[in-house]
Structure formats: structure tokens, C-alpha cells
Amino acid sequence: MRITRRFTTENRSAYDGIAFRTQASEIKKSDGSVVFAKTDVTVPDGWSQIAVDILAQKYFRQAGVPAKRIAVPEDDVPEFLWRQQAAPDINELPEDQRSGGENDARQVFDRMAGAWTYWGWKAGYFDTADDAQAFFDETRFMLASQTAAPNSPQWFNTGLHWAYGIEGPSQGHFYVDYRNGELTKSSGSYEHPQPHACFIQSIADDLVNEGGIMDLWLREARLFKYGSGTGTNFSTLRGEGEPLSGGGKSSGLMSFLKIGDRAAGAIKSGGTTRRAAKMVIVDADHPDIETFIDWKVREEQKVAALVAGSRLARTHLNAIVRACRDWDGVDSDQRFDPKTNKSLKREIKAARASEIPENLIRRAIQMARQGRTKIEFPDLNTDWDSEAYATVSGQNANNSVRVDDDFLRAVDRDEDWALTNRVDGRVSKTLKARALWDRIGEAAWQCADPGLQFDTTINDWHTCPQSGRINASNPCSEYMFLDNTACNLASLNLMAFRCVDGSFDVDGFSHAARLWTIVLEISVLMAQFPSREIAERSYHFRTLGLGYANLGGLLMANGIGYDSAEGRALCAAITALMTGTAYTASAEIAEEHGPFPGFAVNREDMLRVIRNHRRAAYGHHDGYENLSIRPVPLNAADCPDPNLAAAAKKAWDTALETGSAHGFRNAQVSVIAPTGTIGLVMDCDTTGIEPDYALVKFKTLAGGGYFKIINRTVPLALKTLGYNDEQIDEISRYAVGRASLIGAPKINESSLTDRGFDEDAFERIENALDGAYDLRFVFNKYTLGEEFCLETLGFSRDQLDDTGFDMLEALGYTKADIDLANAYVCGAMTLEGAPHLNPEHLAIFDCATPCGRTGTRALSAESHIRMMAAAQPFVSGAISKTINMPYTATVEDCQQAFMLSWQLGLKANALYRDGSKLSQPLARLFDDDEDEDRDEDIDIIDEIVERPPAARAEVIAERIIERVVERERQRLPDRRKGYTQKALVGGHKVYIRTGEYEDGRLGEVFIDMHK
């Protein structure tokens, strides 16, 4: 193939024009402990700290990179593509200097792009060495400029053997040799990397044989180890009570799902800190479907029971021990007899009333008799990573129910629905379709699972139905194809193609889509797979997953609302152009290398699907072939970029024409993935097809700490809408705040001076305002110093130690004063109420949830669904997206969202109602001891759920701190010993001071800072 250059220049470095910097990368836990640190990370200068940290921690190879390497010449390979390996004399170096890790981003870009180009050259994908060099340079530039990124397993694995000669023992993988089509067992771990992120695997109703139940856990483990995810439809497994061939009854689907769930929970993907990614799918007519739907609901109820039970048991059992210990009778043995020890009798009665098991009650008395004064009992909580969640099942997978049109029409007509046995096909149970539908809606409302996959729509758009039906998806539901196949993902950063005037770089985007289609196709031929069947079927169908990120950012930057006809049309046009271009590239490859082996038998079906895509691109409302649900077509009249809409139509004309002539190299070419980690590596404001989540964000600093910045798309949007620089600055300051009290209303240098603040105290406050969310978090003894607060401001120690103490209020400021100053200094974190802003423009800045403490606007669930519907007709696979719903959403709202998704032609959807998981912070706020005021807590809960998320977070943070401090504080003596350490940091004098209890234990630490 011929490769043209657009981003690079021949005979010049691929990185020409990109500045690089060297800096540190450090990641800490919430307790301040360092979990990762690297001091010499070299990265493109434009990358944010978050992107740097992800690259350094997750994607740099941390060990095994030889310090000295030599090239391995190959006669038929250009010299710049010769792979490398450790130098023969490397052992002459000291052992600790022979190898290390990557520390320069160019090492990562070079090894990935080099491996793709190397394998592409070996397989004859480039006409000349100049084409190969152009491909190598263009892909490296796009990686470095954050224009595009492949899925995580590519970063983990690709190029380690090519660039460094890294070897590893075979893990039981297979690949099909591109030279002769023969299935081959891999001899190592890295020569053929595992670059695919998404897998679909089958399961046979067989316990121990290959392809069966226990074999699936092994195949899943191979995938999780290298950072990939997998999904399976488990509907082949017989239901509970169905007969076994050797006699007896089956334990049912759920018993095996729990084994797989536990196995997945024990593995972290790719040796990194993320969990294994797994999807469990069950058809709506499976005999165990009702139990499956309720699975996570019941398990979360168990978490609640464990948490409540552990705390009740701890409270009552220790009360029983205390009653024994504190008895003041004469006969010591009688203290353990409830007949004589009335306090013990009362505590036993209270324990029984709380359902504490009788054996535990007796055990507590026995332990008291043996001299124990306290019973250690687990204090479980609802944290996601807590022991309570680890104890229950179902927490390591996404669950989905597979529903077809027959079921959904039965729901609409209130008809019966039959559940059928897997062995003999007989009806095991008949129930109302609406009863099952209600169960699905309530489960999604309660715990955000299960999602739905719309089987009929999925298979109507299937390009290869003659080879089998589509039964399942990957964990995020964007890759949907035949069982035992894999998909390799990559995403384009849409903001990289936004021109200065706001127009879309159609030619640049088409160029990138073509090159990344080639990248993904080459990745298929170089890859290894976890089983024979996946290796063979991935070779035969060669499915790809090109997608994009930053749609929400692009729309906002262009002054287009996410919930608007223009926004949906722009999304449709971009998606249509991407997939049409990718299919055209696939057909070009097929012209030279032949179509995918499964094309011939599926030719007519695939061309029918391509024609349906083209009809949607042309805006047709009818005339579709063999579709049960008509798609939402592109409305070119609504598209704000006519050239883009025209290019989208042309792309599908070319795809159909070229594919009809030569076939296609790939059965699928596109998906819309969530792009979580790679979206952050590309510094995308928004991921996948999502809208923005906030207008003000916190930027991480290299040395630690953070400061607030306006979302970078906001000023672009305001400029597009015609606001001048002064107005944009004032609107931005309204959102972010000025981070200074100079000129602030009510609370400022003048009013503080009147209250006793000197220049030094005011400077301390000023220095603490950069990342402040609320002024109340700054005015405290830790910022000002305890001595100043006591002696100058005249506060008592009790006031300063009181977590509910409001220093500003105590200084005489009213709530209105504080609110005015807060808005000026810390910002509203929303544009609602901003000066100069036309109310008609507010919709452009709507986010997924309300912004700031006072924001009320947010995108509706319907707006999310309609945006997905705009893109879906132009995606080979599906769209991974969770529909966010407010806390106040009802079960019926959830059902309506699912129904609308089906009616608009989506292939899958999942819902998340705010507050539907026990592990959310709201559920952890009010775990007080028995003597706390529960009525007050209920009032606070009611207050919090009505607030926007940002304001809710403020109350949550205060409440958590208050509980922790008040419960565990031991007062320090008024006169205390301590230690002071002086240091000079960046020209600033820093004093670390401590205070000690009378027994020498550390009681407080605070830092003073002076210029």
C-alpha cells in the first residue's frame, strides 16, 4: 500500500516540532504513601501531569529493558526496522546495571510503531521502504501529539520483543502464521504479543473438557494476565434442577457464575492495579434468569447485612463483656449468671432483640469468664474494596440480560413469556413478560445491574450471519461479534482535528482513520491468542475496533449543545466518515491481500449491511434491508459543517463501491469504546461519546498538589459564540474564582485587617487559596497557626479543636458575606448566573451532572440515549456508554430509558442511578455510634440528596472528617512539648511543628510557611 505523509516530513524526525521535557512522576494513595515514583520521565512538553503519570506508571515497561542492545539484521527487512536484542557483552556490566525500565515516552512510541511497521513490512503491506518509513513516522507523531492511541494491551505488550529482545515462556497461546495460514502454538510470550483488549468466548455445557466450564476460567486468566477483558453468554449452561447425563440434578447456572466471579476477582489485569474486566450475559428465556437478574441486588443486600451485623455484634458482645466485668456483687462467679447479674440479663436481652446468635452471646460470657475485657469483632464497611464486598459474589463482572424483539413486544402487550430448559427445550416456567421487565428495571434502579443487550438489532446488523449468530460482547459492550473472536481497539482524539476556525479537518481525520485501520489490521496478523479457536476465528474474520474520544469536548468548543439537533448531526457525520473510511481502507487491503477468509460465504449479507449504513448516511428513513428497527439517519441539514456531511456520504459511496469489487479485509472496523485510560493519556476533556462532566477541573502539579482551571473548551466555546476577551475572562473568573481575597466583597484585606490580621497572616491565607473549594477550608488553625488564632484572634483552644467551628462566622461575617466572598474567590464552578452570558447559551455548557454548589442544569438521560442513537447506524459494533440518572429517578424512569434505547436502534445500554451503589460515599457518612442523633442524620441525608454533586461532596467531606475526628480525638494538654524543624524550600521558610501528649506520643503536626 502507498502511505502518504500529512503530519511529518520525509528525512526529518517524526518528533520534529514536538518539544520534550524531563520531570518526575509520583502517585500516592489517599493516606499519602507513595505507590509509584520515577524521577526522570521524558515526555512531550504539552502533556499534562495526569497523562505523564499514566504513561509512567501503567505503560512504561518497568524492568527487563537491556542497557546495551544490538540490531539483528534481516535480509528482507530495511535496516531501520531491524529488531534489537541484548548485546552479547551485557554481562560485563554490574548486575544491577544490565537492565532497567523505560523512562522516555519516545521509547514507547518507537517500540509500538516499530513493531507495527516491522510486521506490516514482513507481511507485504507497504509498497516500498519509503512507505514503511512514512507509516512509522506518521504513527509515532500521532502518538506523541495525542492525536490517537491504541488500547492498553498494545502499550503493555507490543514491541517488547522487537525493540528489546524481551522473551518469556509460552503461556499456552496460539497464532495463525500469516505466511501459510497454519495454526501455530506460540513459543514465547512477546514475539507475538497479545495486543487485543476485547474478547468474546464461548462456553460449552461441559464441566472439565476443552471449551467447557472449568476451561473457560483458564482461558479468562490468560487474558486478564495481559490486560485484556472478556465476555461470555452463559445461556448454554443448564438451569438449576435440570437433569445430568450421569444422573442427578444440575446445581444450575449461578453456582458456576460464582466460581468464575471469584477467579476473576483474584486477578488484576496486565499486572497493573485495575481489576479483571469481565462480562456475563444471560438470555431472557434461561430458566435461571430471575435469579441472575437479582444476583447483584441480593449480594449488595448481603453487604448491608454484613456491615450492620458486624457493628451490632461488636456493640452487643462488648456490652455483655462489660456487664460481666463491671458487676459489683460479692460472689465473683455470679457476675456471669444473668439470674443474679441484672445488667448482664439486660444486655443479653438487647442482644437477642438484635438477632445476635445465641452461640455468640454464650461465647462472649465465656470469654469474659476467662478474663477478656474486650471482644475483637470485624468492623466491616461499605467501601468498594472492603472485606464486606470481597466476601460476597458477583462484584467482578458487568451483568447483562439479552432480550430480543419478541420479548420487548410481549412486554408492550403484557403477554406471557416462557423460560425454556437448556437440555430438552421444554418450557420450565411461564410468567408475564412485564413481571420480568419489572424485575430488570428494579434491579438496575437498585444496583446499576443488569444492563440490556438488544439481540434482534445486534444480529440485524451482523456482517457474517452465515458463520453463526452474535451471542455476546466484550466487558464494555462495544465489541459484538461471533463467539471466540477478539477485537483490537484504537481511538482518535477529535479535538486534534478541530481547526482554528472551528471547522473539522476532514482530510486529516480521513488520513488518520485510514492509517489506524492499517495499524489494527497489522495487529491481527502479529498477535497471539489464548486458545486455538480464538486464534483461528480472529484470523478468519479480522475484526477491528477503531473509535474516537472527546466528542463532548469538540461540541462544547464549537458552541454546540450536546442535547441539540446540530450536536447529534455532527456526531453522526463524524462517525459515518470514520467507519466509511475504515471500510474503504479495509477494501484497499483486500484488493492486495484478499478479503478475510470468512467473506465469501457472507458476501451478500455484508454488502447488505454496508448498503444500510450508506442509506443512513444519506438520511433515508426507509428502504432498509431486513431491519426490524429502523435507525436514526444522518440529517445533513442539521450538520453545522456541510463539508463534513458531504464527506461522510462520499466515504460510504467509496466503501460500497470498493468493497463490492474487492471484498473487505475485516468483518468489522469500528466501535465506540469508553476510552478511559487512553483518553487520559491523550488529555481528552471527555471520553468516548460522553459529554463533559465538569466545567472547572483540578490540574495536578508535578511536585504534588493541584489548582483549579476552567475547562479548556469553555473559552473556545465563548469565543465561538462571539464573546470578547474581557467577557470571556470575567465569565471564566466567575466559574473558577480569582484565588485571591484582594478586591473580594465583604471578606478582603481591609476587613480582615480590622479583625486583627497582619500582613503575614493575610499572605498565609492568600497562598492557600489556589485549590480551595470553599473559604471555610482555608480559615483554620492549620493555615494561620495556632498561636496567631489564640493570641491575636482571641479564639479558645476548644473552639479551634471543634470540627464544627466556623472561623469566618466567629469573626463576625454573615452567611451572605461568606457566600459572596466564596463566589469571588473560589468560583461558582458553574456558568449559571455568570456575567455577560446569554441565557440561551447555557445549554451549550450542560454537563452530565449539575456543576458547582449552585448549579441545577444537567443533561437528561434521554439526551444521552439520543446521541448514542445518532452514532449507532455508523458503527460496526456498538457503543459503550452508561446512562447517568439522578438520585430521584424511579424504576419506571429506568424502564423507559431501556425501552427508548431499543426503539431508537441501540444495540446495548446500561444505567447508573446516582446513589444506587452502597459503596458510594453517601452510604458511609452516617455510621455513628448509638448515642448519635439519628434524626439529625436523616435530615442531613434529605438535604444532601437534593444538592448538586459538587455541593454534596463538600458536605460529605465535612461530615466524614467530623465523624473521624470527634470519635477518636484525645485532647492535648494546654502546655505541651514539641519539636520545630526549619527548612528552606524554593526561597520560602518552612517550619514543621509538632505537639506531644504527656506520655510523649505525637498528637499534632502542622506546617508554617513564611516568605
List, for residues 179-238, the tens digit of each pLDDT value: 999 999 999 999 999 999 899 999 999 999 999 999 999 999 888 887 788 999 999 999
* Domain co-membership, 979 together with 940: no
Mean per-residue pLDDT over the chain, rounded: 90
How do strand 277-283 and strand 398-403 relate by DSSP bridges?
parallel
**Could you tell me if residue 457 is inside a domain?**
no
Residue 999: its pLDDT value, please?
63
Q: How far apart are CA 194 and CA 524, in angstroms?
A: 10
Q: How far apart are CA 234 and CA 276, in angstroms?
A: 18
525, pLDDT greater than 90: yes
Q: How far apart are CA 468 and CA 304, in angstroms?
A: 43
Of 164, 184, 210, which residue constitutes the final position of a domain?
Answer: 164
How many residues belong to the chain? 1011
Q: Tell me the C-alpha to C-alpha distance, in Å, between residue 693 and each of 93, 206, 423, 496.
A: 51, 46, 48, 20
**Could you tell me if residue 134 is inside a domain?**
yes
Are 489 and 198 a contacting pair, CB within 8 Å?
yes
Q: H or E stretch including 809? A: helix 807-810
144, pLDDT greater than 80: yes
Residue 224: its pLDDT value, please?
86
Residue 46: its pLDDT value, please?
95
Are 139 and 15 a contacting pair, CB within 8 Å?
no
* Percent of the chain whose pLDDT exceeds 90: 75
- In 3-state terms, the chain is what percent helix, strand and coil (to 5)? 45, 15, 40
Residue 930: its pLDDT value, please?
40
**Could you tell me if residue 182 is inside a domain?**
no
538, pLDDT greater than 70: yes
Residue 944: its pLDDT value, please?
47
| pLDDT band for position 932 (cuts 50, 70, 90) | very low
* Domain co-membership, 48 together with 110: yes
* Domain co-membership, 353 together with 333: yes
Better pLDDT: 785 or 987:
785
**Could you tell me if residue 405 is inside a domain?**
no
Sign of CA dihedral 128, 131, 136, 137: positive
Mean pLDDT of 966-985: 62
Q: How far apart are CA 656 and CA 371, in angstroms?
A: 84
Residue 986: its pLDDT value, please?
52
Q: How far apart are CA 24 and CA 917, in angstroms?
A: 36
Q: Is 145 helix (H, G, I), strand (E, B) or coil?
A: coil
965, pLDDT greater than 50: no
Q: How far apart are CA 636 and CA 573, in angstroms?
A: 8
Residue located via cell numbers 439522578: 886
Residue located via cell numbers 438535604: 943
Q: Is 318 helix (H, G, I), strand (E, B) or coil?
A: helix
Question: Among candidates 229, 254, 14, which has minimal Cα distance to 114?
Answer: 14
**Maximum Cα interatomic distance, the chain, rounded to a whole number of Å:** 103
Q: How far apart are CA 655 and CA 589, in angstroms?
A: 12
Q: How far apart are CA 496 and CA 143, in angstroms?
A: 12
Mean pLDDT of 42-56: 94
Q: How far apart are CA 1009 and CA 982, in angstroms?
A: 10
* Domain co-membership, 46 together with 108: yes
Are 394 and 450 a contacting pair, CB within 8 Å?
no
Partners of residue 20 on adjacent β-strands: 44
* Domain co-membership, 963 together with 951: yes
* Domain co-membership, 991 together with 939: no
Q: How far apart are CA 362 and CA 524, in angstroms?
A: 65
Residue 357: its pLDDT value, please?
96
Are 696 and 715 a contacting pair, CB within 8 Å?
no
Q: Tell me the C-alpha to C-alpha distance, in Å, between residue 51 and each of 25, 35, 58, 59, 404.
A: 10, 17, 10, 11, 41
Question: Among candidates 960, 826, 998, which has minimal Cα distance to 381?
Answer: 960
Mean pLDDT of 259-275: 70
Peptide bond into 595 cis (omega under 30): no
Per-residue pLDDT tens over the stretch 560-596? 999 999 999 999 999 999 999 999 999 999 999 999 9
Residue 979: its pLDDT value, please?
72
Residue 677: its pLDDT value, please?
87
Of 164, 185, 209, which residue constitutes the final position of a domain?
Answer: 164
* Domain co-membership, 44 together with 120: yes
* Domain co-membership, 53 together with 110: yes
* Domain co-membership, 963 together with 981: no
Residue 457: its pLDDT value, please?
99
954, pLDDT greater than 80: no
Per-residue pLDDT tens over the stretch 788-839? 999 999 999 999 988 789 999 999 999 999 999 999 999 988 999 999 999 9
The letter for the amino acid at 775 is L
Q: How far apart are CA 341 and CA 441, in angstroms?
A: 53
129, pLDDT greater than 80: yes
Are 547 and 491 a contacting pair, CB within 8 Å?
yes
Residue 947: its pLDDT value, please?
52
**Could you tell me if residue 130 is inside a domain?**
yes
Point out the residues that are catalytic: 474, 476, 478
**Could you tell me if residue 739 is inside a domain?**
no
Backbone angles phi, psi at 473, to 5 degrees: -145, 175
**Could you tell me if residue 755 is inside a domain?**
no
705, pLDDT greater than 70: no
Residue 444: its pLDDT value, please?
96
The letter for the amino acid at 310 is S
Count of other CB atoms within 10 angstroms of residue 375: 18
Q: How far apart are CA 956 and CA 886, in angstroms?
A: 18
23, pLDDT greater than 60: yes
How do strand 20-28 and strand 472-473 relate by DSSP bridges?
unpaired
407, pLDDT greater than 70: yes
272, pLDDT greater than 80: no
Residue 700: its pLDDT value, please?
59
Q: Burial level of 702, CB count in 10 A (0-12/13-18/19+)?
A: middle
Looking at residue 616, the DSSP 8-state letter turns out to be: H
Residue 870: its pLDDT value, please?
99
Q: Is 883 helix (H, G, I), strand (E, B) or coil?
A: strand
List the grid coordinates of 920: 458510594
Mean pLDDT of 741-764: 95
* Domain co-membership, 108 together with 26: yes
The letter for the amino acid at 810 is A
Residue 1005: its pLDDT value, please?
79
Q: How far apart are CA 954 and CA 170, in angstroms?
A: 51
Of 164, 180, 206, which residue constitutes the final position of a domain?
Answer: 164
Count of other CB atoms within 10 angstroms of residue 985: 8
Residue 961: its pLDDT value, please?
38
Q: Is 594 helix (H, G, I), strand (E, B) or coil?
A: coil
Are 112 and 159 a contacting pair, CB within 8 Å?
yes
Q: Tell me the C-alpha to C-alpha distance, in Å, between residue 525 and each of 45, 79, 558.
A: 34, 22, 40
Residue 993: its pLDDT value, please?
73
| Domain range for 939 | 921-968
**Could you tell me if residue 159 is inside a domain?**
yes
Q: Is 628 helix (H, G, I), strand (E, B) or coil?
A: coil
Backbone angles phi, psi at 202, to 5 degrees: -90, 165
Q: How far apart are CA 905 and CA 885, in angstroms?
A: 20
Q: How far apart are CA 670 and CA 606, in angstroms?
A: 14
pTM of the model as a whole: 0.87
| pLDDT band for position 1008 (cuts 50, 70, 90) | low
Residue 927: its pLDDT value, please?
38
Indicate the number of domains in the chain.
4
- Angle, in degrees to the nearest 10, between helices 213-225 and 253-265: 20
Sign of CA dihedral 333, 336, 339, 341: positive
| pLDDT band for position 948 (cuts 50, 70, 90) | low
Mean pLDDT of 18-24: 95
Alpha helices in 267-426 (DSSP H): 289-325, 342-353, 358-369, 387-391, 405-413
Per-residue pLDDT tens over the stretch 780-792? 998 999 999 999 9
* Percent of the chain whose pLDDT exceeds 70: 90
Residue 595: its pLDDT value, please?
98
Better pLDDT: 991 or 879:
879
List the grid coordinates of 466: 452465515
